[in-house]
Amino acid sequence: MRVNTGRVDIFILSEHVFKFCENLQYSRLFELSAVTSTIKDCRLSVSLFLANMCLLPLLWFIQIISAVQDFPALDHIRTRTSASTQTHASQALIGRIVGKRANEFTAHVQPDLGPKDRDTFKIWSSGSYVNITGTTGVAVAMGLYYYLTNHCGCQYTWAGQQMNIPSPLPKVPAPGIKVTTNDRFRYYQNVCTVDYSFVWYNWTDWQQQLDWMALHGINMPLAFTGQEAIFQQVYMEMGLTMKEVQDHFAGPAFLAWSRMGNMHGWGGPLPQSWINQQLVLQHKILDRARELGMIPVLPGFAGHVPSAITRIFPNANVSHLPDWGHFNSSFCCNLLLDFSDPLFKRIGHEVVKEMLNEFGTDHVYNIDTFNEMLPKSSSPTYLAQSAKTVFEALTSADQQAVWLMQGWIFENSVDFWKSPQIKAVVTAVPKGRMIILELFAENRPVYRHTESYFGQPFIWSMLHNFGGTLELYGSFDSINTGPAAGRNFPNSTMIGIGMAPEGINQNEVIYEFMAENAWVPQPRGVSQWELIDKTLIF
Ligand SMILES: *[C@@H]1O[C@H](CO)[C@@H](O)[C@H](O)[C@H]1NC(C)=O
Ligand SMILES: *[C@@H]1O[C@H](CO)[C@@H](O)[C@H](O)[C@H]1NC(C)=O
Ligand SMILES: *[C@@H]1O[C@H](CO)[C@@H](O)[C@H](O)[C@H]1NC(C)=O
Ligand SMILES: *[C@@H]1O[C@H](CO)[C@@H](O)[C@H](O)[C@H]1NC(C)=O
Ligand SMILES: *[C@@H]1O[C@H](CO)[C@@H](O)[C@H](O)[C@H]1NC(C)=O
């Protein structure tokens, strides 16, 4: 992709090339150069002249009335940050993004600007100023990005920023633009992104990442940084030694997989300095995310425990998880506490209580017990008990907790996770208290054959990237039509969209396109990717 002043060349891949690239994705063998040279032969180059967008005639759209269900159990999942704090945070963001031009923008957060449980922004020209009002800090940032991309030919991507803003600021045709999001939540990150991309991030990098999130409308980011400090505290209070806890954690670049219980110790031991430094970083990340009105997702307790737990509790009822990724017995087959063992709830309670004390909470927790590891029994009774126990442990420390579970297992191990197994897990928890992150919705949408997750809310998420590889491909058609199809599914329980790439800094085009699903009223013409000034006059 080439990005220069006001112009983006986009290579839209034909269905044929796309399928080819998708196969490459699974083989993971090809380098970027090999893929791009193949693509060159059959690509269709489409040029968009973003700077011309303000010349487009104003178009009117009728907002599709959403048929999606309401979940009273999610009523409290909203920012607790005051409008004035969010206003200041969004003004500071504008300063970071547009630099010296910041004094030509005004930003204001007004929570009642739009309908309940949606985000709305309003942009209008007032003299030489551009004024932006939004329901949250994120909504203001989204409005800013809408203006910068559609009216100024600018772009803010992971790889680089084009912020050559025309002077004077292009006018927003009177009386302005008002846009409301399609869904309540926009989720971002994969449990693996922490290693494939973020592992060596310092605060400067995180700050840019958080700005990228806000501009692209993300209001529900995963916030996994610094969790080892919490688990270390809990386990050491229970009597484990420093060494025993260190043997449980992987090294920094492999933490994603020790957190998931896939293996332990690989690339370790984790230095204490790293554990401490990540804790400090997590505080900064959470503060920034919350001041912009986001709802960061914290980790909870999934049942994976250090092997030394049996030294402290000789009667603990544990079993070994299956080998994952061919690690040998020094690193594989972590212990899983049995769901009937009272120790499960005790540790789960301690972990979440410690997390609350340290970080506060927005009541959403990601927990995955069986990520890429098959449970020892496929009995729906066993699986329902596993989910009940995880949820009870969680809610014993936070009564208002909502469990965000990745649906990856249902997509990844279809022979094991059949309808009765999926139903057992998702209906073991009260309605609305579990959100399923439909991780790979652009490719294998599970909600369609599970009656929309049997009534539990889900997030339509694009996975797109595996292993942080650099490959030019993407399911444009699916990303274009999928979210709308999810919302319009009979008795749909879809409550948001998401982007969950295993690694970032690749194929920006797909993410720019996907992020627009936050507000585009209907699928676009992919071959031209018409950037439409969706103008709703207020
Ligand atoms: C827009 O912002 C400018 C600069 O702060 C301010 O003078 C003007 O009153 C604002 N317009 C409205 C309609 O609020
Ligand atoms: C963070 O790391 C980048 C290099 O990746 C460096 O340029 C920057 O100065 C660092 N920031 C801080 C606060 O250390
Ligand atoms: C351990 O858990 C299993 C179920 O997985 C149960 O059958 C067994 O009775 C438990 N053992 C003890 C000692 O509680
Ligand atoms: C596992 O592999 C590592 C090297 O990767 C080796 O040092 C260790 O001895 C092996 N453990 C067993 C039990 O074979
Ligand atoms: C939608 O829900 C209603 C009421 O629960 C039910 O009668 C109907 O069969 C459902 N429709 C589908 C397509 O599942």
pLDDT tens for residues 292-323?
A: 999 999 999 999 999 999 999 999 999 999 99
pLDDT for the residue 32:
29
327 or 532, which is more confident?
327
Instruction: Enumerate the domain spans of the chain.
Output: 74-180, 185-533
Give the DSSP letter string of 453-476.
Answer: HHT--EEEEE---STT-------H
What distance in Å separates the CA atoms of residue 234 and residue 239, rounded to the nearest whole number?
9
pLDDT for the residue 170:
97
pLDDT band, very low/low/confident/very high, at 31 (cuts 50, 70, 90): very low
Determine if ligand 1 sits within 6 Å of the CB of residue 129.
yes
Q: Which residue's CA is minimally distant from atom 2 of ligand 5?
A: 491
Cα 273 to middle of ligand 2, angstroms: 18
- Which atom, in ligand 2's list, is nearest to the CA of 200? 5
Q: Which two tokens stand for residue 321?
A: 């998880």
Determine if ligand 3 sits within 6 Å of the CB of residue 340.
yes
Cα 456 to middle of ligand 5, angstroms: 14
pLDDT band, very low/low/confident/very high, at 200 (cuts 50, 70, 90): very high
Determine if ligand 4 sits within 6 Å of the CB of residue 329.
yes
First vs last Cα of the chain: how many Å apart? 36
List of E strands, 251-352: 298-299, 304-305, 318-320, 335-337
Multiple choice CATH, 74-180, 3.40.50.150, 3.40.50.850, 1.20.1250.20, 3.30.379.10: 3.30.379.10
DSSP single-letter state for residue 517: G
Strands of the sheet with 335-337, listed across from one edge: 304-305, 335-337, 318-320
Q: Which two tokens stand for residue 305?
A: 């425990």
Cα 200 to middle of ligand 2, angstroms: 10
pLDDT band, very low/low/confident/very high, at 117 (cuts 50, 70, 90): very high
- What's the angle, vertex CA 271, arms to CA 269 and CA 273, rounded to 5? 170
Handedness of CA 114, 517, 451, 66 (dihedral sign): positive
* Predicted confidence (pLDDT) per residue in 477-497, tens digit: 999 999 999 999 999 999 999
533 has pLDDT over 80: no
As a whole number, mean pLDDT of residues 438-461 equals 97
pLDDT for the residue 529:
77
444 or 35, which is more confident?
444
Determine if ligand 3 sits within 6 Å of the CB of residue 377.
no
Label residues 281-314 b or e (16+ Cβ within 10 Å = b).
bbebbbebbbbbbbbbbbbbbbbbbbbbbeeebe
Q: Which of 87, 105, 131, 133 to mutate to test the pocket of ligand 1 (most atoms within 8 A of CB)?
A: 131
389 has pLDDT over 80: yes
No. of helices (H) and no. of strands (E), the chain: 18, 20
* Predicted confidence (pLDDT) per residue in 273-284, tens digit: 999 999 999 999
* Predicted confidence (pLDDT) per residue in 70-116, tens digit: 899 999 999 999 999 999 999 999 999 999 999 999 999 999 999 99
pLDDT for the residue 531:
52
What distance in Å separates the CA atoms of residue 456 and residue 436, rounded to the nearest whole number?
7
Q: Which of 320, 337, 338 to mutate to test the pocket of ligand 3 (most atoms within 8 A of CB)?
A: 338
Q: What is the pTM of this model?
A: 0.87
What distance in Å separates the CA atoms of residue 144 and residue 12, rounded to the nearest whole number?
27
38 has pLDDT over 50: no
Q: Which of 141, 135, 130 is nearest to 89 (CA)?
A: 141
As a whole number, mean pLDDT of residues 191-219 equals 97
List of E strands, 197-307: 220-221, 298-299, 304-305
pLDDT for the residue 530:
57
Q: Which of 518, 124, 80, 144 is nearest to 292 (CA)?
A: 80
Determine if ligand 4 sits within 6 Å of the CB of residue 326.
no
pLDDT for the residue 70:
87
Q: Which of 531, 537, 535, 536 is nearest to 149 (CA)?
A: 531
462 has pLDDT over 70: yes
Give the DSSP letter string of 282-295.
Answer: HHHHHHHHHHTT--
Determine if ligand 2 sits within 6 Å of the CB of residue 202.
yes
Ligand nearest, relative to CA of residue 267 = 4
* Predicted confidence (pLDDT) per residue in 131-179, tens digit: 999 999 999 999 999 999 999 999 999 999 999 999 999 999 999 999 9
What distance in Å separates the CA atoms of residue 457 and residue 455, rounded to the nearest whole number?
6
H/E run at residue 366: strand 364-366
pLDDT band, very low/low/confident/very high, at 435 (cuts 50, 70, 90): very high
Cα 45 to middle of ligand 4, angstroms: 51
208 has pLDDT over 60: yes
pLDDT for the residue 68:
73
Average model confidence (pLDDT) across the chain? 87
What distance in Å separates the CA atoms of residue 94 and residue 47, rounded to the nearest whole number?
28
60 or 376, which is more confident?
376
pLDDT for the residue 60:
29
338 or 13, which is more confident?
338
pLDDT for the residue 10:
29
- Which atom, in ligand 5's list, is nearest to the CA of 452? 14
Q: Which residue's CA is minimally distant from atom 1 of ligand 5?
A: 491
DSSP single-letter state for residue 301: -
What distance in Å separates the CA atoms of residue 44 and residue 363, rounded to the nearest whole number?
46
Cα 262 to middle of ligand 1, angstroms: 54
- Which atom, in ligand 2's list, is nearest to the CA of 204? 11
pLDDT for the residue 347:
98
Ligand nearest, relative to CA of residue 122 = 1
Q: Which residue's CA is minimally distant from atom 5 of ligand 4?
A: 328
* Predicted confidence (pLDDT) per residue in 496-527, tens digit: 999 999 999 999 999 999 999 999 999 988 87
366 has pLDDT over 80: yes
Domain 185-533 annotated CATH 3.30.470.20:
no
The count of other CB atoms within 10 Å of the CB of residue 61 is 12
- Which atom, in ligand 2's list, is nearest to the CA of 202? 1
Determine if ligand 4 sits within 6 Å of the CB of residue 328.
yes
